[in-house]
A and B are shown apart, each in its own frame.
Chain A
Amino acid sequence: MPDNWAYVMAAYAVAALAVGAYWRHLAARARALRERPAQTRRRRTA
């Protein structure tokens, strides 16, 4: 059977993209939650 390297690379790339996208989603959510109290405080003092 031919080696089909393109399929191997595609499978690893899809897995990496899925994990990377979820990791970025978590990082963005954590950043938004940490910044929210600071924004609220700034609004209160303005």
Chain B
Amino acid sequence: MKPDRLTTLLGGLAALGLVVGLAAAFGYAPREAVQGNVQRIMYVHVPAVLTAYLAILMVLVGSVGYLVTRRAGWDHVAGAAGELGVLFTAITIASGSIWGRPTWGTWWTWDARLTSTAVLLLVYAGYVLLRGVLADEPDRRARFSAVVGILGAVNVPIVHFSVKWWRALHQPSTILGPEPSPIAPPIAMALLVNWIAFTLLFAYLLTRRVEIARLEDAV
């Protein structure tokens, strides 16, 4: 399949997934008994953080791939995924902050999960800035950013396990935890649909950004 066709297909699937995801979040999923309708923010917040994890995993894979093979394609994937890691981590923090105000009574607190997620955002914002600064030196940009991308990925397990390692206001993991998920089936289904939609959106934006990186190298 040609890259243009693949991008168009992924774009269509992502748009469809997001529409179905909205219908699941607002039409199918029930009103949560304790928090009320404000819990519906979860259908953005959780898929956003899972997509951010996926993006950073792609940075790690692309960076290792580049250092082993020295092929520009791996660097393009890592660079594109780094930008998307920033985007989805920022959405995670913003939606979490908005959710925190009515449920915790504050927009922000220096809780372990929130602080480690903010550090993750800063690390990958720095990664994107570094790539921008070295834009005219593709080899140095690829080498330096690969090292930063690999070291930065260490933050992901810190973010994920922060609620276990330290006393935190944020609730423990309910879907990537060791125990079976306690989430009610309709809520879990709506979450799954939105997770798939966000993953499709990520795949679409990644392929689009990689195409642009190829064009940038060709000019």
A34 and B99 contact, CB distance less than 8 A: no
The digit string for A4-46, where 1 denotes a CB below 8 A from any CB of B, is 1101101110110011001100100110011011000000000
Q: Which of A3, A10, A29, A36 contacts B36 (CB 8 A)?
A: A3
CB-nearest residue of chain B relative to A40? B219
Residues B73-128 near A (CB distance < 8 A): 83, 87, 90-91, 94-95, 98-99, 101-103
B208 and A12 contact, CB distance less than 8 A: no
Interface of A is mostly: helix
Interface residues on B, range: 20 to 34
Residues of B within 8 Å of A18, CB to CB, are 87, 90-91, 94
Q: Which of A3, A11, A19, A37 contacts B45 (CB 8 A)?
A: A11
CB-nearest residue of chain B relative to A34? B215
A11 and B94 contact, CB distance less than 8 A: yes
Q: Which of B40, B45, B205, B215 contacts A22 (CB 8 A)?
A: B205
Known: A18-B91, A19-B201. A11 touches B98 (CB 8 A): yes
User: Given the complex of chains A and B, what is the CA–CA distance between A5 and B38 in angstroms?
Assistant: 6
Residues of B within 8 Å of A34, CB to CB, are 215
What count of chain A residues pass the 8 Å CB interface test?
23
User: Given the complex of chains A and B, what is the CA–CA distance between A34 and B128 in angstroms?
Assistant: 23
Q: Which of A4, A29, A37 contacts B38 (CB 8 A)?
A: A4
Residues of B within 8 Å of A22, CB to CB, are 83, 87, 205
Inter-chain CB contacts under 8 Å: number = 74
Residues of A within 8 Å of B216, CB to CB, are 33
User: Given the complex of chains A and B, what is the CA–CA distance between A25 and B212 in angstroms?
Assistant: 11
Residues of A within 8 Å of B91, CB to CB, are 14-15, 18-19
User: Given the complex of chains A and B, what is the CA–CA distance between A4 and B31 in angstroms?
Assistant: 12
Q: Which of B31, B35, B44, B209 contacts A26 (CB 8 A)?
A: B209
Q: Which of B40, B87, B205, B215 contacts A33 (CB 8 A)?
A: B215
User: Given the complex of chains A and B, what is the CA–CA distance between A10 and B91 in angstroms?
Assistant: 12
Residues of A within 8 Å of B94, CB to CB, are 11, 14-15, 18
Min distance, Cβ A23 to any Cβ of chain B, angstroms: 7
- A sample of 11 inter-chain contacts (CB < 8 A) reads A8-B37, A8-B40, A11-B41, A11-B94, A11-B95, A12-B44, A15-B91, A18-B87, A30-B212, A33-B216, A33-B219
